[in-house]
């Protein structure tokens, strides 16, 4: 798609929302207020993770992805400095809630019915990661797509554990928004800083 807004809209409204609505019995019981200590730990982890992500991009980003392709993609998707705040708010607040309701609230909970140890954790984490393969392929060099997908699967496993241990889909959504989506926004900001012509 040639628009980040349309891509998000179709993904959230047409793909995820119907399942979230139909399967609300699976996640409604976990719609609990997060504990303050969990939110504080997530916030501290997010600051550290964002710092490490931007530092890693500064040091080795040229090995993993094409800056030229990232610039083209941002232009194609209509992401500019001017609308980055709006995009960032949507990406760090709406996207994590919708994705967590689907990937952990629906898929993970449904897979929990299979009585094989860690089945739900592994398969829901892999499915969410594989769903992002084409996005990774747009900007990452060959082989790094696959490495990125494996890293995302591990990260999804961590989100599933946060969800399971906290018993709160809201805690998982906060972790998702602050850890990944906020780190992506920091990367885009850093990219704009390094490429003032965009």
Q: Report helix, strand or coil for 112.
A: coil
At 145, list the tokens: 């797509």
Contacts of 128 (CB under 8 A, 6+ apart): 99, 103, 107, 152, 153, 156
Which of 12-16, 81-85, 91-95 shows the lowest mean pLDDT across its residues?
Answer: 81-85
pLDDT at residue number 120: 96
Contacts of 131 (CB under 8 A, 6+ apart): none
The structural domains of the chain, with segments of one domain joined by +, span 34-194
Which residues are paired to 65 by β-bridges? 140
The predicted model gives 6-34 an average pLDDT of 93
What percentage of the chain has pLDDT greater than the value 90? 61
Model confidence at 1: pLDDT above 60: no
Which residues are paired to 140 by β-bridges? 65
Determine contact, residues 160/124, Cβ cutoff 8 Å: yes
What's the predicted TM-score (pTM) here? Answer: 0.90
């Amino acid at each position: 798609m040639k628009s980040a807004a349309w891509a998000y809209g179709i993904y959230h409204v047409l793909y995820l929302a119907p399942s979230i609505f139909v399967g609300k019995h699976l996640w409604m019981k976990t719609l609990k207020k997060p504990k303050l200590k969990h939110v504080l730990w997530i916030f501290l982890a997010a600051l550290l993770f964002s710092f490490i992500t931007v530092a890693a991009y500064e040091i080795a980003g040229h090995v993993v992805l094409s800056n030229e392709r990232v610039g083209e993609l941002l232009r194609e998707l209509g992401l500019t400095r001017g609308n980055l705040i709006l995009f960032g708010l949507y990406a760090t607040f709406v996207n994590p809630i919708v994705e967590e309701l689907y990937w952990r609230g629906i898929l993970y909970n449904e897979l929990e019915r299979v009585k094989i140890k860690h089945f739900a954790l592994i398969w829901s984490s892999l499915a969410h990661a594989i769903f992002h393969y084409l996005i990774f392929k747009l900007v990452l060099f060959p082989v790094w797509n696959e490495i990125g997908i494996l890293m995302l699967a591990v990260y999804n496993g961590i989100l599933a554990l946060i969800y399971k241990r906290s018993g709160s889909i809201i805690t998982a959504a906060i972790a998702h928004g602050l850890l990944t989506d906020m780190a992506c926004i920091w990367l885009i900001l850093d990219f704009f800083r390094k490429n003032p012509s965009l």
